[in-house]
Each structure stands twice: as C-alpha cells, then as structure tokens.
C-alpha cells in the first residue's frame, strides 16, 4: 500500500506540462465512461471497441505506480491530488470540479455539470454522489480557512431530488474549536437549494504536513 | 432530460446477453480509469493512447441514449440500473459492488476491493466515497425489506481512515414508520469497523412504480 505524502520539486512550468499531458487523456477516458453507459451501437462494434480498449489499457500499464496516486506537494506547497474522485486531474470519474476558495470568507464553491455517470433515480443525481461532492467541497473550505482535517462526521439533508445538469455547490467554515472544524454547505440547481450538509473535520495529530 | 422509469420485456436470456456484452466493455474502461491515475509511461505513449481513446469514444457515441440510462425494469420486475455509480453494470467508476440482500433480515451487504480511483488521503478511501457506498447499500437494504425510498437524510461517522483494499459493508432496516424508513450500516476492513451510517429514506408518493 502506497501511503506517500510526497513532496516533489516541480516548478510551475512542470506542473503545467503535467496538466497539459494528462488532462486530455483523462477527458478521453471520461468520455468513455459516459459513452459506455449511453451507447446504442451494435454488438459487433461493442466487441471491437472493447478489444482495442483492453490493448490501450495494457499500454498505459506498461509502467505504473504500485498503488494510488496519493497526495503530493510541489516545492511551492501546491497540492496535487490528481487521483481524487471529485477534483482529480487524472480521475475520469471526477467531473472534475474546479473548486474556488476564499481564505477571508473561509469558503469554497464550484459550478459544474453532471451527466449520466452520476445518475441515481432516473434523471436525478445519485444521493451518494451528492454526499461525495459535499465531503470534498466542505473539506476544501476547511483547507482554505487554514484549518484542514479529515472528515469525522458528515450529515446530508436531501430537500428534493437534484436533477442531472448544471449545479452549484458552496461551503463555509462555521466554527473552529482547536483541531475540530465545522463546515456547512448547500447544493443548488437553477431553482434553488436541493440539499444541505454539515461536516465535522478533525486534523489528525500526525498530519502536520497537511498544513501547507 | 430523460426521466424514464422504463419497463422492458426482457427475458432472462436477454438480460444475460446484455451483461455478457457490456460487462467486458465496462471492465476495460474501468481498467483505463485506474491506469490513467497510475501510469508512468512516456509522454509520446500518453499522447498516442489519448488519440486512439478519443477515436473509440466517438465510435461508441455513433448512436447513444439522449441522457442517463435511467432505471429500467424487466417484465419480471428485476431492476436494471446499469448507470449507477456504485452497482451499475455499465458504470466504469462503480467497483461495482455485488450487493447481496435478505428480505427476512431486512439487510444488504457486500464485500469488495477499492483501488486508486477511490483514494482521498494517501492510501485511504475518500470520505465522500464512503458516503456514496453507504447511500447505495442502505438504500438497497430498504428495497430488500420491501420499503424502498429516496434518501432524505444520511449521516456518516468516520471512526478512522478506511484503507484502500478489501472491505465489507452492511446495512439493515432499523425501523419503518409509514413511508419513512431508518437504515443503519457499517463499513469494515480486516481490523474492524471504520465508519458507521444512519440514513432516513422516504418513498415519494408518486413513486408507486418502485414497489416491484
């Protein structure tokens, strides 16, 4: 199991080169995730595409990390969590959310679009995906406020079904007590709030490295 | 927006033929999701693979559903939620969980393995992924008990980090009050429980069709 919190000396140009290389790869795989759910092409075409995809996966696996990507820091302190299922540059399930933050407002927010891979009830976002997004964005608000932590509790209230499509999520730090941070948030569509969340995040004593 | 709850007359042989066709496709894309996070092959190889993946995605998109897969029922009442992010046959992010259920015990459980695409903190499952899994499996326990519903509230307590690797999740209906169903559950690794959950599920008045 790779448990690395890795510091790498990457300058901004190297970080950008990595993005320019992996963003198109991940976008291509993301298209495939969506297309696999929605395709109506004939059986023979599915079989042919499947065979070729297997060959391409083998090419990518010719040399690979032994486990997950982990969380890496550049020399400049920027976080590279590229495997992350919500925001990861190299995670094809991640929409990915582009999360904006304000240290002053102790907040984080994102506007994004969800399609077929995120569906639960017909036409609606999977309730668990709503929780997944909240966990990430509430956590990012805590990081933005300078009080990062791991999720200790997350409670989500679903006011109504969240339609697939254009959505907005936001979160803000409500209060800080020592290493404990309470963050609240809302998910909205064009008609208003669909779900709310409250999370308690606690900084592990061993995780001083997170304080970037 | 496709909002279809579709009933289709598929006999078991047709359902099996669909599985035999789409499971290998989805597995291939799932391998690509993982490999995209972990690959260390040279830049030129990434560029070449990306170009070919784009071509294959276009082939799958030659004919496709206008939106998500939705939830479909066979004539026999079996649910086909193939786009589902936790259990969907055609969702490459879904591990997928093979959820077993007991109507008598009003419970659902699954044993499964999580790798790189589900990582949050280094070597640990993303807290939001833990919530995602709970939402699905708690919901399936409610379905197994004959009291299905949409998630109204979900509260997850994270006792410690959940390592990537082999895990077990289980859930059971705790109580039923009219259309309201309370379900509890636990996620465990080989050393015991890592997280617990309580969910409130409510059957929408309009969703009689869910009672299969």
The complex scores an ipTM of 0.93
Strand order through the sheet with B150-158: A100-102, A107-114, A165-177, A180-189, A192-202, A150-158, B150-158, B192-202, B180-189, B165-177, B107-114, B100-102
**Residue range of the domain that includes B104:** 97-210
Q: Is the pLDDT at B139 greater than 70, yes or no?
A: yes
Does residue A87 share a domain with residue A7? yes
Domain boundary at A78, A96, A114, which?
A96
- Residue B76, chain A, CB below 8 Å: the answer is no
Does residue B108 share a domain with residue B16? no
Token readout for B146 is: 């004959």
Q: Encode pLDDT of B34-58 as tens digits.
A: 999 999 999 999 999 999 999 999 9
Task: Count Cβ neighbours within 10 Å for each residue of A163-193 and write b for 16 or more, e otherwise.
Answer: bbeebebbbbbbebeeeebbbbbbbbbeeee
Inter-chain touch B21–A47, beta carbons under 8 Å: yes
d(CA A119, CA A141): 26
- Residue B129, chain A, CB below 8 Å: the answer is yes
CA distance A174 to chain B (A): 18
Q: Is residue B164 part of a domain?
A: yes
CA distance A91 to chain B (A): 6
Contacts of A52 in chain B (CB under 8 A): 52, 56
Query: What's the rounded mean pLDDT across residues B59-66?
Result: 96
Interface of A with B in 192-211 (CB under 8 A): none
Give A210's pLDDT tier (boundaries 50, 70, 90). low
Does residue B75 share a domain with residue B111? no
Does residue A116 share a domain with residue A79? no
pLDDT at A1: 41
Domain boundary at A65, A96, A127, which?
A96
Does residue B149 share a domain with residue B115? yes
Q: Are strands B79-80 and B71-74 parallel, antiparallel or unpaired?
A: antiparallel
Domain boundary at A53, A79, A96, which?
A96
Q: Is the pLDDT at A58 greater than 80, yes or no?
A: yes
CATH of the domain at A159: 3.10.129.10
Query: What's the rounded mean pLDDT across residues A141-156?
Result: 95
Does residue A206 share a domain with residue A103? yes
Does residue A103 share a domain with residue A205? yes
Does residue B190 share a domain with residue B102? yes
Find, among A34, A133, A64, A49, the residue nearest to B93 by Cα: A34
Q: Is residue B90 part of a domain?
A: no
Q: Is residue B180 part of a domain?
A: yes
- Least CB–CB distance from A119: residue in B59, B69, B121: B69
Inter-chain touch A1–B163, beta carbons under 8 Å: yes
Lowest-confidence pick of A62-76, B103-117, B151-165, B174-188: A62-76
Inter-chain touch A1–B117, beta carbons under 8 Å: no
In A, minimum Cα distance to B53 occurs at A28
Inter-chain touch A150–B127, beta carbons under 8 Å: yes
Does residue A149 share a domain with residue A178? yes
Does residue A157 share a domain with residue A175? yes
pLDDT at B15: 86
Listed in sequence order, the DSSP H helices in chain A are 12-38, 43-60, 127-144
Helix (H, G, I), strand (E, B), or coil: what is residue A13? helix
When divided into structural domains, chain A yields a total of 2
CA distance A188 to chain B (A): 16
Find, among B153, B17, B167, B125, the residue nearest to B80 by Cα: B17
Does residue A51 share a domain with residue A20? yes
């Amino acid at each position: 199991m790779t448990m690395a919190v890795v510091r790498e000396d990457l300058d901004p140009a190297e970080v950008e080169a990595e993005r320019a290389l992996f963003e198109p790869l991940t976008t291509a795989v993301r298209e495939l995730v969506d297309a696999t759910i929605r395709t109506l092409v004939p059986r023979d075409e599915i079989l042919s595409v499947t065979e070729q995809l297997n060959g391409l996966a083998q090419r990518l696996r010719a040399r690979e990390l032994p486990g997950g990507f982990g969380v890496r820091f550049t020399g400049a302190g920027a976080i590279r969590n590229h495997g992350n299922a919500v925001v990861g540059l190299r995670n094809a399930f991640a929409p990915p959310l582009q999360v904006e933050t304000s240290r002053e407002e102790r907040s984080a927010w994102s506007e994004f679009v969800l399609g077929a891979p995120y569906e639960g009830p017909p036409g609606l976002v999977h309730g668990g995906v709503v929780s997944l997004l909240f966990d990430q964005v509430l956590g990012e608000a805590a990081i933005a406020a300078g009080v990062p932590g791991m999720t200790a509790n997350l409670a989500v209230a679903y006011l109504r079904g969240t339609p697939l499509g254009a959505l907005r999520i936001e979160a803000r730090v409500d209060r800080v007590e020592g290493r404990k941070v309470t963050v609240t948030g809302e998910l909205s569509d064009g008609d208003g709030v669909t779900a709310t969340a409250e999370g308690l995040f606690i900084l592990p004593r061993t995780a001083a490295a997170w304080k970037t």
